[in-house]
Each structure stands twice: as structure tokens, then as C-alpha cells.
Amino acid sequence: MKIEARSVIKFLHLKGYSARQIHDEMKAVYGDDCPSYDTVVRWKRNFQTGHMSLTDEPRTGRPSLTDSAATVKKVEDLILEDRRVTIHVIMHETGLSYGSVWKIIHDELHMSKVSARWVPRLLTPLQRQTGSDLSRLMLTLLEQDEEDFFGRLVTTDESWIYLYDRETKEMSKEWKHTTSPPHQEG
């Protein structure tokens, strides 16, 4: 409708109509869909000064990068590469603002961040393998000398001493699509 209305304003301007006459003619034809009188005045002034284009001039300011398919693809690739990536890391990699990254993730990619681990002290794959190896060794020792085995066995509580900072629940969160199945711990 914008281009059509501007075409009519341009046509009537070239015929010599005043802004009031143009608006009255358009009101008679378009009714409530007619542009406002101020809009007619603004476009008539544009045509009087020699700007005959029916489209808006490019505006100054930072262009919206969130509409770019390449930008959305880059954000999606970063997330799929590491589902635990934070918005701040994506901001650093793409040069986008926090709000732009958030908008792309939530509005364009339809993703949200959910906790990947519900229990904070789950064992790492290395710790699970070590526990499995130790259990096999204990079973072998039991089979070799069942009578003396329990006499030599020393037990402790089941505390693990970590040589690294434990991962927090916040650190374990992963991005997922709204249509993704629930997270399954392996």
C-alpha cells in the first residue's frame, strides 16, 4: 500500500494538486486506508525538491545484522559446535550485541538453554572407566583368594577428590531446539 499511495501522491503532485487536494482525493477513494495528511505533505515536499523515488532513502545508523541469513547461520554453527557456548562467547566471535545474539537464538533459531546435568557430581568418562577397571581388579582378586580377600580389604567412604574445579550447573547448560527430545545422560 505504501508504494501505491506514494505513486498516487506523485501523480497528483505532477498534475499540480496541492497537498490538501491530494489528501482529499485519496480520502475519497481509499477511505480509512488513506495515508495521513502529514504523510501526504512530507511526500509532496520530497517530490517538489526533486526526490522522485517512491522508496525510502537508506537511513543512517547501524544496520540490523540479525536479519542476515549468514549471521544467523554463523550463530547456529557456533552453538552446534559447542552446545555449552555462552552468549558472551558468541558475542565475541560474531561482534554482535548481547541483545542481537539473544534475539537470533530465541526468535530465529527457536532455541533455549537447559541444564544438561541435573546432578552436579556425575562422574566423567575417565572416572567411570577407572571405577570399572578397579571393580574388575577387585573381582579378580576375590576369585584368586576368596578366604583372605576380605581380611585384606580396606574400605573408605565414597568420596572423590577432584583435581579440577567441578563444573557448576550453569556451566553444564546446553542449547537445544524447542523440538529437541529431553536430555538423556549416557
Q: List, as one string, the DSSP characters of 50-83.
A: T---SSPPPPPSPPPSTT-HHHHHHHHHHHHH-T
Contact of 41 with 19, CB cutoff 8 Å: yes
Query: For 142-186, how does the pLDDT look when each residue is reduced to its tens digit (9 = 90+)?
Result: 888 888 887 777 776 666 655 556 667 777 778 888 777 776 654
Mean pLDDT of 22-50: 90
0.85 cut: is pTM over it? no
* Helix (H), strand (E) counts: the chain: 8, 2
Whose CA is closest to 103, among 79, 67, 74, 70?
A: 67
78-100: pLDDT as tens digits: 998 988 888 999 999 988 889 88
Tell the burial category of 35 from Cβ atoms under 10 Å away from its Cβ (0-12, 13-18, 19+): buried
d(CA 100, CA 84): 18
Using CB atoms within 10 Å of the CB of residue 79, give its burial: 0 to 12 exposed, 13 to 18 middle, 19+ buried.
buried
In whole angstroms, what is the distance from residue 114 CA to residue 108 CA?
Answer: 18
pLDDT tens by residue, 1-22: 688 888 888 899 899 999 999 9
Res. 124: pLDDT tops 80: no
